[in-house]
Amino acid sequence: MLAFSLYEPNRADAPQAPYNNSRFGLKIKILLYKYFIRPRYIFLVLHSLSNPPHLRHHIYMETQYISNFGVRTEVPQIKIKYVLYARKSTETEERQVLSIDSQVKEMLQIAEKENMEIIDIRRESHSAKDSGQRPVFKEILSDIDNGRYNGILTWAPDRLSRNAGDLGSLVDLMDQAKLQEIKTYGQTFKNSPNEKFLLMILCSQAKLENDNKSINVKRGLRTRVEMGLWPGPAPTGYLKEKRSDRKCETYIDPEKGPVIKKMFEKVAYEKWSGKKVYNWLKFDLNFRSAYGKKHLSLGNIFRSLSNPFYYGEFEYPRNSGNWNKGKHEPLITKELYDMVQAQVKSNTLRIENKEFAFTKLMTCGLCSSAISADEKFKKLKNGTSNRHVYYKCAKSKDHNCKNPPINETDLIKQFEKLIDDMKVNELRVRDKIKDEILRFKKFNTSLLGKSTNIQIEDIDIKNYVKFILKDGEMQEKRDILENISERILLKDKNIFLL
C-alpha cells in the first residue's frame, strides 16, 4: 500500500515515509512534477503568450512558492495595475462624502504604503444613480477591457456604482479575469465568489439608499404641497424663508416684488408688448433675477406673465391638473392676471411683428444698430384715440445706446426738408409717376367721362416724393425711399445723409 505525505519535507514532525529518501520516492516526485504541476504552469505561460500583448498576464513580475506533495513549486502571481477613481456626486444628498481631492490624497497614501502601482488617476463629478451615464467611468471600463488596468483603487464601493447596470459591468470584467482586484479604503475585493458577492451586496445597498431617498423626497414634497407651500425655487419677485420655523415658506421680495407687479399692470392697462417690457426691465431698471443675477430673457418674461403663482395658486406637478391654494401672499389679483392673459393672446401684444415705413431704411447714428419702431395709442376725452409711431435705436450693438426716439410725424417733416439735397433715382421714380398718371386718366375716363392731358414732364419728381412721404401708404413710402442712394442716419432726433 502506497502512502503519501502531505507534510512539508523538512519539518521535524513530518512522518518519514519509506519513499522519502529512496530512489523510488524521488521517481514519484519527478512524475508528479512532470505530469501534474509542470503542465499547468506551461499552460498558463502559453495561454498568456497566445493573447495580444495588451492582454497578456504579466506572470514574470512576481512569483510565489508552494509545496505540492513535498515539491517546492513556482506559481506565478499576476501583477495588479491600478487606476485610481475618485468621484463626487453633484447632488445634495451626497455632500457628506469626501471631496475628490481628499479621496485622491487618502488613496495615494494607501498606494504608497502598500507599494501599489497606480497607472492613472481619474476624477469625475457625476451622479452614479443611472447606468451608463458617467463618461469617465465608461472610459475606465473600456481601458480595463483592453488590458490597460486590471485593478481599481477607490474610496468606497458606492463611488463605483449605485445602480445595477454599472455593477454588472464590473462583475462581468471580474468573471472574465480582466479585473483582478477592487481595493477600497477598508476592504479588498478579489476575483473570488465570496468577495464578488460581498461587493454586489454593498453596491446594492447603495442603490437601496438612493431608491429610499427618492421615495422619501417625493413624500415630503407632497406634504409641503398639501400645506400650500411651493416646493421649488421662489419665482422672481418672491424669496424663500431662511428661518427654520418657517421652512419652505415664500414671501414677497420687497425690492423686486413691486417691479413684477408693475410689469403685470403695464401689460394689462398700457398694452405693453413683451419686447417693450424686456427693454424696460433691462435698460431702464437694470432688473436682474434674485438667483442667477441675470437679466430676464423675453421667454422668462412671458413665463412670469403666465404664472398663476402670483395671484395665489399653483399647479404641482406641472401639467398634472392638481391645483393648490398657496399659503404665500398674492402679488396681484386674479382679475389682473386674467386681463394679462387676454392681452398676451390678443394681436395688440404682438406689435413686434408689424411692419413700419422707415425701419429698414435708417441706421442709428451713435452705435450703428438698426432702427426699430413702436406704436402707442393715446385715449382722448371724446372716447377716440390717437396713434403715434416712434422710431428708436434697436440697441443690438450697444445695449446702453442713448439715442432718443423720434415721432414719425417729425421724421417725415425732416425727410421733406432733405428731399432737395437727396440723390433720387429719377428713372425709377418717373416709372412710378407714369403708372400714377395712367391710373388717374383711367379713373377720369371711366367714372367722370372726362379726359385729362397730363404729361410726366409737368410733374416735379421731388415734389412727388414729398407727397408720397406725407400722404402715401406705408409700402409706397418704403418703395420711394429705396430710390435714395445715400445712407440715412438717425441721431438725436435728426436725420443725416452719408
Domain boundary among 321, 353, 385: 353
Domain boundary among 353, 371, 392: 353
Residue type, 250: T
- Predicted local distance difference test score (pLDDT) of residue 10: 43
In a domain, 315, yes or no: yes
Helix, strand or coil for residue 214?
Answer: helix
Domain boundary among 195, 211, 227: 211
Rounded Cα distance between 267 and 344, Å, is 8
Pair 172, 245 in one domain:
no
pLDDT in 10s for each residue of the chain, 498 residues: 333 333 344 444 444 444 444 555 555 545 544 444 444 444 444 444 445 444 444 433 444 544 444 555 554 567 899 999 998 876 544 444 457 888 899 889 999 999 999 999 999 988 887 888 889 999 999 999 999 999 999 998 888 888 888 889 999 999 999 999 999 988 899 988 888 888 888 888 877 877 787 788 888 888 888 889 988 889 999 999 888 778 788 999 999 999 999 999 999 998 888 888 988 998 889 898 877 678 898 889 999 999 999 999 999 888 888 899 999 999 999 999 999 998 888 744 444 456 677 877 789 999 989 888 888 777 777 777 788 889 999 888 887 898 999 998 888 888 877 777 766 666 566 667 667 767 766 766 766 666 666 655 556 667 777 777 777 777 777 777 776 777 888 999 898 877
In a domain, 226, yes or no: no
Pair 85, 198 in one domain:
yes
For the domain that residue 158 is a member of, what is the CATH number?
3.40.50.1390
pTM for this predicted structure: 0.42
Q: Which of 476, 465, 395 is nearest to 430 (CA)?
A: 465
Pair 257, 340 in one domain:
yes
Pair 322, 247 in one domain:
yes
In a domain, 224, yes or no: no
In a domain, 223, yes or no: no
Pair 201, 91 in one domain:
yes
Q: Which of 212, 339, 327 is nearest to 269 (CA)?
A: 339
Contact 250, 229 (CB under 8 A): yes
Which residues, in sequence order, are CB contacts of 288 under 8 Å at separation 6+?
294, 295, 296
Count: domains in the chain: 4
Pair 250, 189 in one domain:
no
- Predicted local distance difference test score (pLDDT) of residue 496: 84
- Predicted local distance difference test score (pLDDT) of residue 468: 76
Segment 32-37 long-range contacts (CB within 8 Å, at least 24 positions apart): 32/68, 32/69, 32/71, 33/71, 33/73, 36/68, 37/68, 37/71, 37/73
For the domain that residue 242 is a member of, what is the CATH number?
3.90.1750.20
- Predicted local distance difference test score (pLDDT) of residue 27: 53
Pair 317, 363 in one domain:
no
In a domain, 217, yes or no: no
CA distance to 73, 80, 210, per residue, from 62 (Å)? 14, 10, 41
In a domain, 11, yes or no: no
- Predicted local distance difference test score (pLDDT) of residue 84: 94
Pair 408, 477 in one domain:
yes
Question: 82 - beta bridge partners?
Answer: 118, 151
DSSP state letter for 256: T
- Chain center to CA of 232: 18
In a domain, 310, yes or no: yes
Joined grid coordinates for residue 183: 481595493
Provide the residue range defining the domain that includes 50: 23-77
Pair 329, 434 in one domain:
no
- Predicted local distance difference test score (pLDDT) of residue 48: 45
In a domain, 401, yes or no: yes
- Predicted local distance difference test score (pLDDT) of residue 344: 85
Pair 116, 187 in one domain:
yes
Pair 380, 292 in one domain:
no
Pair 364, 487 in one domain:
yes
